[in-house]
Amino acid sequence: MDFLIKFAQTHESFRLAEIEALAAVEGVDLTVIDYSDQSPLCFVRLPSAEAARKLVRRSVLAQSVHELWGTGTTLDELHDSVKERTCHLWPAYKEASFKFGIDSYQGARSNGQRLSIINSFQYLPFEGPIRMSNPDHVFTVFELWPYDSVPLGIENPDSLHFGRFIAGSSRDVILKFDLKKRGYISTTSMDSELSLVTANIALAAPGKLFYDPFVGTGSFPIACAHFGAMGWGSDIDGRSMRGEGGRKSLPGNFEQYGLGACLGDVFAADLTHTPIRRDGRIWDGIVCDPPYGVREGLRVLGVRDPEKTPWLIEQGIKNASWLSLTCFRSPDFVPPKKPYSFLAMLDDILVFAAETLVDNGRLSFWMPTANDEEQEIPVPAHPCLELVVVCVQVFNKCKDPILGPIS
């Protein structure tokens, strides 16, 4: 069966990646027939309407899915397509309540024109009542117009499609996790929409263990926990996780959303001095937004020159054991840190993922595409990892952070 997915016209390069990931999570056989970043409509082939519901029920970037009844470049072509493709389905909807709608992208219709289009479907043998609220079935005419069609005075769309509404998505969950309503955030807390999309692309699901090595205030583990996974995290700065305590802390954020049972634990560590054993594959997914840029002040535990400051190493071993486990024996001791190369950190992330991810587990992370000197940063690679997808988000005018899920 052919279906039409209506996407939100945002984060365009992430949309198809999310849907394909959800097909893997739900075990749905998905074939993409036609898709373009320039259009909010995606045409797919699925086994059934139930499969379509499963596909979009936890999607963040999709809005709805519709059973495709017809398509054409003109209204007459659309009617011919509907008659040819669906005449055998009409008796099933003869007595049911229904309503019609028109969804125009980059174009507009007057009320009179909209009514005329709806009336042109009078050949459909629907005898049930028309209900504008809670009908049994919703039928929609989707119109795709050329760019700037209204100011240019273009009279007709490029294409028209007709579909029956099957199910909506979980896009409204973005408001639930809105950072403006969260009890504890920092300047680098990841946007709720992108956190949820990252979790979807990483295949977060019930029964899985997900880890964020740069957890901060917990945006990524919270998103993974929303989809049923158990979230774990660490950060070089324990203060970012502890906050003020209570509701003003990372655990407090989990409790705010009723996800406390899905928080495994968090601990202070950096990726180069982690207490996590490397000889076992435990993580189903690793999701993170590694620090970069001047504001982040990228650091790892250690000293610039051990020969010049041997007393710092001795004090660290005595008070914090920071060379091995980064566990704080003295609560007021601040372990020394040294500068850390961003490119070295990317290599360390991939090595860590290769050593600790289960088979077919995914690493899903953010990185800039260029540095402050506009030098392009290549997508990192590892012989034990396969690149699944790279999604680009335009950031201001010259910075393009990318999300690269790797499994």
CATH code of residue 83: 3.30.2130.30
Same domain (yes/no): 281, 383: yes
Note whether 85 and 131 are same-domain residues. yes
Domain total in the chain: 3
- How far is Cα 6 from Cα 141, in angstroms, rounded to an integer? 12
For residue 386, what is the domain's CATH number? Answer: 3.40.50.150
Q: Is 103 found in the same domain as 218?
A: no
Residue 178 placed within a domain: no
- My answer on whether 146 and 225 are in the same domain is no
Residues 44 and 115 in one domain: yes
The reply to whether 327 and 222 lie within a common domain is no
Residue 316 domain boundaries: 299-336
Residue 328 confidence (pLDDT): 44
pLDDT at position 319: 52
User: Is residue 175 situated within a structural domain?
Assistant: no
Residue 295 has a pLDDT of: 41
Query: Which portions of the chain are predicted below pLDDT 70?
Result: 293-340, 371-374, 395-407
Closest CA to 241 of 207, 264, 257: 264
Within this chain, do residues 236 and 356 fall inside the same structural domain, yes or no?
yes
- 317 occurs within a structural domain: yes
Query: Same structural domain for residues 267 and 395?
Result: yes
Tell me: do 199 and 326 sit in the same domain: no
Q: Which residue, 287, 308, 336, sits at the end of a domain? A: 336
Amino acid at 91: P
Q: Quick one: pLDDT at residue 330? A: 52
User: Could you give the CA distance from residue 119 to residue 243 in angstroms, rounded to a whole number?
Assistant: 60
Residue 377's pLDDT is: 80
DSSP collapsed to 3 states, the chain? CEEEEEECCCCHHHHHHHHHHHHHHHCCCCEEEEECCCCCEEEEECCCHHHHHHHHCCCCCEEEEEEEEEEECCHHHHHHHHHHHHCCCHHHHCCCCEEEEEEEECCCCCHHHHHHHHHCCCCCCCCCCECCCCCCEEEEEEEECCCCHHHHCCCCCCEEEEEEEEEECCCCHHHHCCHHHCCCCCCCCCCHHHHHHHHHHCCCCCCCEEEECCCCCCHHHHHHHHCCCEEEEEECCHHHHHCCECCECHHHHHHHCCCHHHEEEEEECECCECCCCCCCCCEEEEEECCCCCCCCCCEEECCCCCCCCHHHHHHHHHHCCCCCCCCCCCCCCCCCEEECCHHHHHHHHHHHHHHHEEEEEEEEEEECCECCCCCECCCCCCCCCCECCCEECCECCCECCEEEEEC
- Domain check: are 251 and 283 in the same one? yes
* Residues 227 and 357 both lie in one domain: yes
Let me know whether 162 and 279 are in one domain.
no
